[in-house]
Amino acid sequence: MNKANHITKLKKIILIISVSLLALVLIMAASFYIVRANGKNKLYQAQSEEQLDLMQDAMEQGVAVEKDYQETTEEEAIESDVDSSDPVVEEADVTEESKVENKEETEEVKEVKSKAGNIQYNNKTYHFNEDVMTFLFLGIDQAGEVAPAKDGISGGQSDTMFLLVLNPNTKQISVVGINRDTIADIEMYDRAGNFLMTDRRQLTLQHGYGDGMHLSCERAVQAVSKLFYYIPINGYCSLNIGAVAKLNDAVGGVDVVTPNKIDIYGVTYEAGQTINLQGETAKWFLQTRDVFAFNSAGARLERQKTYLTAYIQKAMMKTKENLGFPLDVYNILSKYMVTNVSADSILYLATEATSYSFSGAQVYSLQGKTIRGTMFEEFYPDQQALYDLVIRLFYEEVTE
C-alpha cells in the first residue's frame, strides 16, 4: 500500500512538473511573440499620415528633368560647393540669398496623376506598399567609439549610405547604394546649432550638421527621404568606420570579388580577383579611394555594394542557424553605433529575414552623372531613373 501511495505521489509530482514546464514554454512563446509584435509596431510608427501625404504629393508632381546632363559644364556646377573634409559654414556665408534653384516643370516633365491615393504612371495604376520596411545605414568617417560632437558642424560625414528595403509581400530584401556626392537639399547650421539655410550640396555633409548622434541621423534620414520622394524610413543605423573590422569578423570574414582595382596594404588586386577580407582589410576595402581620381567615390561605392551583398548573404545564414546572431552583433557594435532600432525590433527583423530571399540582382544604385564642381565632385541623379526605382521598390501595381 505504501508502495502504491508512493507511486501515486510520484505521478502527481511528475504531472505538476510537466504542467509547469508546459506553462513556462507557453509563457516564453507568448513573450516572444509579444516582444516580436512590439518590435514590429515600433518599426511601422515611421509611416505617419503626414509622411505619407508628403510622399503622395511628391509622387504626384512626377519627374522633373532639371537639366540636360550632356550639356552640363563645370561652370554650371553649384557655386556653394564646400570642402568635403569639413562641412563648416560660418554665419557670414549666409548673408547672401540661398542658391537653391526653384524646380520648374518643363516639356520633359512626365505627367503623373493620383486618384484615391493611387499613382497613374505609364498607363498603369500603383499604390504605395505600406508593408515595406526601409532602413537607412550610414558609414561615418570616425575611427573611435561614438561620442557627441563638439559643436553643430562636427557630426562627421556619412561616406557610406545604403537603404535596406524589406518587402514582406514578396519576401525580398533590396539594397540601394547612394553616392556620397549626390546633390540634395541639405539643412545647414552654424557651430552653435542654429539653422542657417537649406542649400543644394553633397548628401554626405548632412550628418555633419548635428550632434554626431541621433540628431545627425534624423537629419540624414530627412534628407534621404526627401531625395526619394519622401518615402517613409522606418529606422536608421550609423556606424563609425572604426567598427568595420568587428562587423566583418562577427561573420567569420567575407569573400568578395573586387569590381575594380585596389591596393590593400601594399598588395594590388585587379578587378575580378577574389579577396578574403579579415579584420582591418575589410575597413581598407570599404574606405580607401584615390581622391585625385575622377569619380573615386563612385568606384568605392561599387566595392561597398559588392561587400554588402556578400555580407548580407553570410549574415542571413548565421541568423538562420541562430536567431540571436543579430543581437550578438548589436552588442558587439553598440559602442560604435547610433540607432533607433530597438532590441525587440531586431528580434522581429531577424525572424522575418530568415524567410526572405536576397541576391546581387536586388542591389541597386542611383543612376546619374558625376561632374567636377568648382571645388569637388557632384553627382546628379537621373530623376527619371530615380522615380522608376521608387515605383519598383515601394509601390505595387493595382490590377483591379
Cell of 15: 504531472
SS3 304: helix
Q: Is the dihedral of CA 91, 93, 96, 100 positive or negative?
A: negative
Domain that includes residue 360, residue range? 50-397
CA 178: distance to chain centroid?
Answer: 9
Q: What's residue 85's pLDDT?
A: 43
239 and 284 together in one domain: yes
Q: Where are the beta strands (DSSP E) in the chain?
A: 113-115, 118-121, 124-128, 133-140, 158-167, 172-177, 183-189, 195-202, 235-240, 254-257, 262-264, 267-269, 274-277, 337-339, 363-365, 368-372, 377-381, 395-397
Number of domains into which the chain is organized: 2
Judge whether 157 and 87 are in contact, CB under 8 Å.
Answer: yes
63 and 32 together in one domain: no
DSSP category for residue 100: P
Judge whether 343 and 337 are in contact, CB under 8 Å.
Answer: no
- How many other CB atoms are found less than 10 A from the CB of residue 21? 10
10-residue mean pLDDT profile of the chain (400 residues): values are: 64 62 52 45 65 84 49 43 42 40 39 64 92 95 93 94 94 95 96 96 97 97 96 95 93 95 90 95 90 87 93 91 89 94 86 86 92 89 95 91
322 and 297 together in one domain: yes
Contacts of 125 (CB under 8 A, 6+ apart): 118, 119, 397, 398
Give the CA count within 13 Å in the CB-facing half-sphere of 120.
7
Give the CA count within 13 Å in the CB-facing half-sphere of 146.
21
Q: What's residue 61's pLDDT?
A: 82
- How many other CB atoms are found less than 10 A from the CB of residue 55? 21
328 and 270 together in one domain: yes
Q: Name the helix (H) or strand (E) containing 33.
A: helix 2-44
11 and 115 together in one domain: no
65 and 28 together in one domain: no
99 and 18 together in one domain: no
Q: What's residue 59's pLDDT?
A: 87
Helix pair 343-353, 325-333: axis angle to 10 deg: 140
SS3 165: strand
Return the CATH number at 251: 3.40.630.190
C-alpha to C-alpha distance for 262 and 194, rounded to whole angstroms: 41
Q: Is the dihedral of CA 230, 232, 237, 241 positive or negative?
A: negative
- How many other CB atoms are found less than 10 A from the CB of residue 339? 20
Contacts of 78 (CB under 8 A, 6+ apart): 99, 183, 200, 201, 373, 374, 378
| Residue in this structure with the C-alpha cell 564642381, named with its chain if needed | 373
Q: What's residue 347's pLDDT?
A: 83
pTM, entire model: 0.79
Q: Is the dihedral of CA 289, 301, 299, 80 positive or negative?
A: negative
Q: Residue ranges of the alpha helices (H) in 45-95? A: 49-61
Q: Name the helix (H) or strand (E) containing 213.
A: none
* 287, burial (CB in 10 Å: exposed 0-12, middle 13-18, buried 19+): middle
Q: Is the dihedral of CA 140, 144, 145, 151 positive or negative?
A: negative
29 and 173 together in one domain: no
252 and 392 together in one domain: yes
C-alpha to C-alpha distance for 187 and 206, rounded to whole angstroms: 7
C-alpha to C-alpha distance for 111 and 113, rounded to whole angstroms: 7
> Which residue from 289, 290, 264, 288 is spatially nearest to 276, judged by alpha carbons?
264
223 and 354 together in one domain: yes
151 and 9 together in one domain: no
* Separation in Å, CA 35 to CA 41, 100, 265, 342, 344: 10, 45, 45, 11, 6
122 and 208 together in one domain: yes
Strand 368-372 and strand 395-397: the pairing is: unpaired
